[in-house]
Copies of this chain bind each other. A is one copy, B any other.
Amino acid sequence: MIGHTELGPGGEFDRIRAILERLGSRAAPSGDDCAVVTVGAERLALSTDLAIEGTHFRVGWLTPGEIGWRAAAAALSDLAAVAATPVGVLASVGASREWPEAIVADVMAGVGAAAATVDAVVWGGDLVRSDRLVIDMAVVGRVDSPVWRRGATPGDALWVTGALGAVAAAVRAWEDGREPDRQARERFARPAPRVSEARWLAERGATALIDVSDGLLGDVGHLAAASQVRCVIESERVPVHVAADRPDDAVVGGEEYELVVSLPSTFGRDEASQFSQRFGLPFTRVGSVEEGAGVILLEQGRPVELPAGFLQFD
């Protein structure tokens, strides 16, 4: 959904978002990951994610099944980011005539496999000709009490699931003509939408939630802007993936599909340990929420000067 890396922060992003809002039913707070709408008796979360060869991936990097998996997982992560429960998926694929039917079938099988990990099914799709591979995923979930980006409150702590930085390492390896580390490759190829994790956190009082698609700092910036608070990240606390090759990637690398969540101070070490045991996943306190605006990155207690743009999310 809107909020995608390609548009990034800044004027263009904001104004196109405004167009959608003008057209739409104001279903979601400005720029949130999903539309949440009431259809008859149901409250639905919906999102769509368009991935284009060359812009979002290169065909040589991944198998067709992984391309399908990754596209589906990225879209399903938008549902996780509001603590919705995925139900079904529509997959549109544009593929060239050089792609035999068996390859398109593998893409679809990857979509189906990723959907199955969160108990969603592939409802249907469209298949057309295109000179570049194009995949659009539209995902539908149910949600009674969505957790938005906007609820972070001064005094909350900021936590992150998993460990970051390996996705960027994989991309860098491919771009340099190297084969990535196996674990880094897996992080890129088969992200896991944190659906159950999000619901568990929502039940335990999560005040704001976002998935890491633009990079930790970028997404925390979105959360800070939506919540009208200042978010402070302590860089030493950010969990760096064992397959990351540059620690900075953990802070700025995108398309991780982990969750950043703000939780009240009553959520402590015991609860974090329950989370880790239940999901087999690190859960790390990386910072705090204060009065103010923007994102502060601390290194050994001192604010780091952030690249232009990171403080301009509001």
Please give the residue numbers on chain A whose beta carbons come within 8 Å of chain B beta carbons, in ascending order: 1-2, 4, 6-7, 12, 15-16, 19-20, 23-25, 27-28, 34-35, 37, 39-42, 44, 46-52, 54-56, 87-88, 90-94, 101, 104-105, 108-109, 111-112, 115, 121-132, 134, 136, 138, 140, 142
Looking at A2, A44, A91, the one whose CB has the most chain B CB atoms below 10 A away is A44
Beta-carbon contact of A4 and B46 below 8 Å: no
Beta-carbon contact of A121 and B24 below 8 Å: yes
CB contact under 8 A between A92 and B49, given known A19-B105, A109-B23: yes
- Residues in B neighbouring A121, C-beta threshold 8 A: 23-25, 27
Beta-carbon contact of A52 and B88 below 8 Å: no
Looking at A2, A54, A91, A92, the one whose CB has the most chain B CB atoms below 10 A away is A92
Beta-carbon contact of A40 and B42 below 8 Å: yes
Beta-carbon contact of A124 and B24 below 8 Å: yes
Beta-carbon contact of B124 and A35 below 8 Å: yes
Beta-carbon contact of B48 and A138 below 8 Å: yes
Give Cα A213 to B51, complex, Å.
26
Q: Determine the residue in chain B with the shortest Cβ distance to A116.
A: B23
- Residues in B neighbouring A142, C-beta threshold 8 A: 39-40
Determine which of B19, B93, B124 lies in contact with A109 in the assembled complex, contact meaning CB atoms within 8 Å.
B19
- Residues in B neighbouring A123, C-beta threshold 8 A: 24-25, 27-28, 35, 37, 46
- Residues in B neighbouring A104, C-beta threshold 8 A: 16, 19
For the complex of A and B, 7 pairs with smallest distance between CB atoms: A138-B138, A136-B136, A23-B112, A50-B92, A35-B123, A41-B41, A48-B90
CB contact under 8 A between A39 and B42, given known A56-B128, A126-B50: yes
Beta-carbon contact of A108 and B138 below 8 Å: no
Beta-carbon contact of A20 and B50 below 8 Å: no
Beta-carbon contact of A124 and B56 below 8 Å: no
Beta-carbon contact of A140 and B101 below 8 Å: no
A1-B124, A4-B127, A136-B136 given. 11 additional CB < 8 A pairs? Answer: A2-B124, A16-B127, A27-B121, A40-B42, A46-B90, A46-B140, A50-B93, A52-B134, A55-B94, A90-B138, A92-B136
